[in-house]
C-alpha cells in the first residue's frame, strides 16, 4: 500500500515518494523555549511522532530533525522580566519541553539543533541571498526582498499586496512587506559578528539554515503547526528558493488544540500546562487523547473529552492486560490491514483507532468464551497497532513511568471476577448483590462505569 499525505503546498493528497528510496528525511519546527509547555505545544510532537513510527514500520530509514529556537524576542523579553540570563531561561525551558516529550512517549529526534549553534550557516545563507539579489543589508539589519521572488505566497495563498509580516519595525526596509533575516544589535541583547555588523538572527532564517544544514538542500517532509504556514514557513521557502535550494518536497501541518473555540495561547490565558495535566491524568492517557483526532483537525479541549478518551484507552489496556495475565506473554503481532489502510490515507488515526477497538471487542468475546488462542492473536495485533500510535499498554516506557504492569494485570483479574459476579446478579435481577459488589469495589477505590462494551473499571484519582 502507498502512503498518501496531504501536502499544504499543492493542497492535495499525494503519494509519498521519498527523495531516496527506503529513506525519509523529516524536519519538524520544534519549540520556541520561552516558557513551560502546554498541551497545545506538544500536539505537533505527538502527531508527527506517529508519522515517524509509521514510516519506520513501512521500512523507511527515518532521519528526523526537531529544532529548538533558543534565541527570539519572546525569550529575551521573558528572561528580562524575570531578571534571568536569556541563555539560562532558554536552557531551563528546553529541558521542560524535553521532559514533556519524554513523559508522553515521543521518540527522541535523530538531531535536535539549537538556533544559536547555526549562526555560521545563517551568515553564509544571507551572503548567498544577497549575492543572488534576494536580500539586502541596511543599518546593520538584513532583509529579504519579497518582490524579488515571483512565487512568494504560494504556500499560504497570500497575495503580495495583502502581506503583513507582523514583525517589529526595523530601519532601512525598502518595502514594509520585506521580512527581517538579521537584526542589528541592541544594547543589552546578545549578538554575533557578521559582515554587516553585530546582531542576532531572525526566526525564519534560523529554520532554513538548520533544515538545510542537517538534511541538505532538498529533503522529504517539513512539518509544523498550521499557525506557522504564514509567515514562518512561507518565509522559509522564500529564503531557500532564493538561495537556490529546492527545500521540502512535502509540507504537513497539524491543527491546533483549542479551548472555547480559541487556539491555546499564553496571551489568552487558556492554556493547560503539561506538568499540571500530568498531576491529574496518566501520561499515556493524555498522549492517547492528544493523538486521537486527525492531525489536520482542530482538537477542542474539555475535561469531558479527555475523560472519554482516557476511558477508551483503558478499555484497550484492560483487554491486553487480561490476556497477558492469562497467557503470560503477549508479543507484538501484525497490524490489521484496515488499520494500515487508515494510516496510509493521510495518517487517518480516528479510523485506525476504530479498527483497534473492533479487534478489542472481538478479543474480549473470544476471551470470555475460552478461546485463548484467538484472544492472544488479537492482543498481539492490538499491541502492534497501539505501538505505532505510541501507546502500547505493555511498552516498557509506560510500565516504568506508571508502575508495574504485572501488578495492574493481576488487579484487573480480581476486579473482573467481581464485575462478573455483579453481571450475574443483575442478570438474575438480584439488585442487592449487584449493588453490594459495586459498593465494595468503590470502598476499595475502584470506580465502575457501565459501557456498551460492558463494565469498565478505573482507580479513583487515576484521572
Taking the C-alpha atoms of residue 197 and residue 211, their distance in angstroms, rounded to an integer, is 25
- Asked if residues 453 and 315 have their Cβ atoms less than 8 Å apart, the reply is yes
Beta bridge partners of 4: 15, 345
Strand-pair category, 218-225 with 61-66: unpaired
The yes/no answer on whether domain 4-254 falls in CATH 3.40.50.620 is: yes
pLDDT along the chain (463 residues), means of 10: 96 98 98 94 97 98 98 96 97 97 98 98 98 97 97 95 85 94 95 97 96 98 97 98 98 93 69 88 96 97 94 96 90 97 98 98 95 96 98 90 53 78 88 90 83 66 46
Taking the C-alpha atoms of residue 341 and residue 350, their distance in angstroms, rounded to an integer, is 12
The answer to whether the 4-254 and 274-459 domains have the same CATH topology is: no
pTM here is 0.87
pLDDT at 447: 79
* Helices and strands (H and E) in the chain: how many: 15, 15
- Asked if residues 456 and 314 have their Cβ atoms less than 8 Å apart, the reply is yes
H helix or E strand, kind and range, residue 457: strand 454-459
What is the SS3 assignment for 61?
strand
The burial class, CB within 10 Å (0-12 / 13-18 / 19+), for 172 is middle
DSSP string over 22-53? TEEEEEE---B-SS--BHHHHHHHHHHHHHHH
* Residue 421 grid coordinates: 459476579
User: What single-letter DSSP state applies at residue 249?
Assistant: E
pLDDT at 404: 44
CB atoms within 10 A of CB 322: 20
Which of 17, 180, 32 is closest to 114 using CA atoms?
A: 32
Which of 265, 304, 305 is closest to 289 using CA atoms?
A: 305
* Residue 360 grid coordinates: 478489542
The yes/no answer on whether domain 274-459 falls in CATH 1.10.730 is: yes
pLDDT at 298: 96
Taking the C-alpha atoms of residue 357 and residue 274, their distance in angstroms, rounded to an integer, is 27
pLDDT at 130: 98
Q: How far apart are the first and last CA of the chain?
A: 39
CB atoms within 10 A of CB 367: 21
pLDDT at 403: 47
The ranges assigned to domains in the chain are 4-254, 274-459
Taking the C-alpha atoms of residue 309 and residue 293, their distance in angstroms, rounded to an integer, is 10
- Asked if residues 449 and 455 have their Cβ atoms less than 8 Å apart, the reply is yes
Amino acid at each position: 500500500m502507498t502512503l498518501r499525505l496531504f501536502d499544504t503546498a499543492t493542497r492535495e493528497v499525494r503519494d509519498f515518494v521519498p527523495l531516496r528510496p527506503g529513506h525519509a528525511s523529516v524536519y519538524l519546527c520544534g519549540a520556541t523555549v520561552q516558557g513551560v509547555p502546554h498541551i497545545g505545544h506538544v500536539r505537533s510532537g505527538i502527531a508527527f511522532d506517529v508519522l515517524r513510527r509509521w514510516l519506520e514500520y513501512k521500512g523507511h530509514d527515518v532521519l528526523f530533525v526537531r529544532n529548538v529556537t533558543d534565541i527570539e524576542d519572546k525569550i529575551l523579553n521573558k528572561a528580562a522580566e524575570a531578571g534571568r540570563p536569556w541563555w539560562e531561561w532558554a536552557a531551563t525551558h528546553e529541558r521542560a519541553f524535553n521532559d514533556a516529550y519524554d513523559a508522553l512517549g515521543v521518540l527522541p529526534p535523530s538531531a535536535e539543533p539549537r538556533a544559536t549553534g547555526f549562526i555560521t550557516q545563517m551568515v553564509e545563507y544571507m551572503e548567498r541571498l544577497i549575492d543572488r539579489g534576494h536580500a539586502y543589508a541596511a543599518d546593520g539589519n538584513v532583509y529579504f526582498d519579497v518582490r524579488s521572488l515571483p512565487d512568494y505566497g504560494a504556500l499560504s495563498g497570500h497575495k503580495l499586496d495583502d502581506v503583513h509580516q507582523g514583525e517589529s519595525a526595523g530601519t532601512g526596509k525598502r518595502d514594509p512587506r520585506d521580512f527581517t533575516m538579521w537584526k542589528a544589535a541592541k544594547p543589552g541583547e546578545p549578538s554575533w559578528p557578521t559582515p554587516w555588523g553585530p546582531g542576532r538572527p531572525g526566526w525564519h532564517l534560523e529554520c532554513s539554515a538548520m533544515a538545510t544544514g542537517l538534511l541538505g538542500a532538498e529533503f522529504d517532509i517539513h512539518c509544523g503547526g498550521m499557525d506557522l504556514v504564514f509567515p514562518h514557513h512561507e518565509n522559509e521557502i522564500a529564503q531557500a528558493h532564493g538561495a537556490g535550494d529546492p527545500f521540502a518536497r512535502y509540507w504537513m501541518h497539524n491543527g491546533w488544540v483549542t479551548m472555547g473555540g480559541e487556539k491555546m495561547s499564553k496571551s489568552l490565558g487558556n492554556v493547560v500546562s503539561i506538568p499540571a495535566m500530568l498531576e491529574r491524568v496518566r501520561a499515556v492517557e493524555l498522549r492517547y487523547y492528544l493523538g486521537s483526532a486527525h492531525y489536520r483537525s482542530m482538537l477542542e479541549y474539555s475535561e469531558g473529552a479527555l475523560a472519554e478518551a482516557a476511558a477508551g484507552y483503558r478499555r484497550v489496556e484492560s483487554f491486553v492486560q487480561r490476556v497477558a495475565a492469562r497467557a503470560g506473554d503477549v508479543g507484538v503481532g501484525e497490524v490489521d490491514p484496515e488499520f494500515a489502510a487508515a494510516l496510509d490515507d493521510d495518517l487517518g488515526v480516528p479510523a485506525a483507532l476504530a479498527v483497534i477497538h473492533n479487534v478489542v471487542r472481538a478479543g474480549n468475546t473470544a476471551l470470555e468464551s475460552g478461546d485463548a488462542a484467538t484472544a492472544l492473536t488479537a492482543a498481539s495485533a492490538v499491541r502492534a497497532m497501539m505501538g505505532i500510535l505510541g501507546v502500547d499498554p505493555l511498552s516498557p516506557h509506560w510500565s516504568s513511568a506508571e508502575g508495574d504492569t504485572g501488578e495492574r494485570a493481576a488487579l484487573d483479574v480480581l476486579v473482573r471476577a467481581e464485575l462478573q459476579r455483579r453481571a450475574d446478579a443483575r442478570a438474575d435481577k438480584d439488585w442487592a448483590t449487584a449493588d453490594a459488589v459495586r459498593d465494595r469495589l468503590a470502598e476499595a477505590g475502584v470506580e465502575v462505569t457501565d459501557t456498551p462494551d460492558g463494565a469498565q473499571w478505573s482507580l479513583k484519582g487515576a484521572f
